[in-house]
Amino acid sequence: MPADLNDYFNKKGGNNGGDKKPERPQRPRRETPNFLNDFSKKTGWLYALMALAVLLVIAKPFVVINSGEVGIKATAGKYEKDPLRPGLHFFIPFLQQVMVVDTKVRSINYTTSRGHDMSSPAYRMGGATGVMNVPSISALDARGLLISMDITVQYRLKPDTAPQTIATYGTSWEEKIINPIVRDVVRNVIGSYKAEELPVKRNDIAEAIKISIEKQVNSKAGQPVELSTVNLREIVLPPKIVEQIERVQIAKQEADRVQLEVERAKQEAEKKAALAQGDANARKIKAQGQADAIKIEADAKAYENTEIGNSLTPNMLTLKQIEVQGQFNAALKSNNNAQIFLTPGGSTPNIWVDSKNKIKTTTANQ
């Protein structure tokens, strides 16, 4: 077919005589805005950031260490020597891990079972409280009698050596360090006493247990644990020993009561004797005082008489006689009828009698 005919049929839009619809006129092509072009370019980066955020949330390549805790970083399964202190720390996910361990004071209570299932993990471990409850310690005394001891032990993991401790003993380090030492020490100490001696020597036993536990804990390599306190709470004795101790205590109390009454009676007797002796001494002192007073008074009188006697010289006596004679002369002047009897020597008073025979006795001071 000639070329011009082919062109003709093509323009008509059909082959083999078929009709073809005429083509629609094409609209002008619009250009995409610049900000959409920029957004499409940044979409890849946005998806990458979102994927990274999801990876951070899932992998969590950081850890926060609180006060009273340390972190132990392990790289490819090997613990690093230096612990992570409280704060924010980053690590490489899937290659490194951080274990957070508690370094606060923890407690183990060795307590007698009273209706609790002490084999259950919930009873044994205190969880976040840091308190472990375990069965009391059974020990034999010096005669082979079974004794139970209730003890509380407080301790803490040393932060500086925590990585070495966890690497050596694992996360159950308490069961491998504290628990065996405490039980072994208590059994050894109790084995050196008789059962009836335990309540009497309670303080000595508690001190011996504390010293021995502390010594053995510190003897561990690196001293991984710091012991705080050891409290002996209760000593559970066999019933027969308890009855025996009670009988001994009752007898001792009765003996003490009798001794107290004897001492009281003795004190009362001593008190009465002291009072009687004091009264006798008081009377003796009073009598002695009176006798001394009389003697002093007599001595004073005698001294006075002696001094007076020594002062009476012959001239003094003559003068005294003249004075008395003068007094009588004066009396005669007022009563001429008086009769006077002179007693020489001065030992007897002079006497005069008036005219009416009424005797008047005048004593002149010699």
**What is residue 26's predicted lDDT score, i.e. its pLDDT?**
56
The alpha carbon torsion through 351, 352, 356, 359 (nearest 10 deg) reads: -20
Ranges of the chain with pLDDT below 50: 1-6, 8-9, 12-18, 115-126, 347-348, 353, 355-366
Q: Measured between alpha carbons, how far is 167 from 183 in angstroms, rounded to an integer? A: 24
Angle at 175 between CA 172 and CA 176, to 5 degrees: 90
**What is residue 350's predicted lDDT score, i.e. its pLDDT?**
53
DSSP state of 125: B
Helix (H) / strand (E) element for 318: namely: helix 314-334
Q: In a 3-state reduction of DSSP, which class is residue 143?
A: coil
> Which of 142, 145, 156, 249 is closest to 205 using CA atoms?
142
pLDDT (tens digit per residue) in 18-74: 455 555 555 555 555 555 555 555 676 777 777 777 777 776 888 999 999 999 999
**What is residue 243's predicted lDDT score, i.e. its pLDDT?**
85
Q: In a 3-state reduction of DSSP, which class is residue 161?
A: coil
Taking a C-beta distance cutoff of 8 angstroms, is the pair 322, 342 a contact? no
Q: How many Cβ atoms are within 10 Å of 227's Cβ, its own excluded?
A: 19
Q: Measured between alpha carbons, how far is 238 from 257 in angstroms, rounded to an integer? A: 28
Q: Measured between alpha carbons, how far is 237 from 234 in angstroms, rounded to an integer? A: 10
**What is residue 341's predicted lDDT score, i.e. its pLDDT?**
56
Taking a C-beta distance cutoff of 8 angstroms, is the pair 182, 151 a contact? yes
Q: 89 has which bridge partners?
A: 63
> Which of 125, 142, 128, 222 is closest to 179 using CA atoms?
125
**What is residue 117's predicted lDDT score, i.e. its pLDDT?**
47
**What is residue 3's predicted lDDT score, i.e. its pLDDT?**
46
Location of structure tokens 């040393």: 158
Amino acid making up residue 161:
T
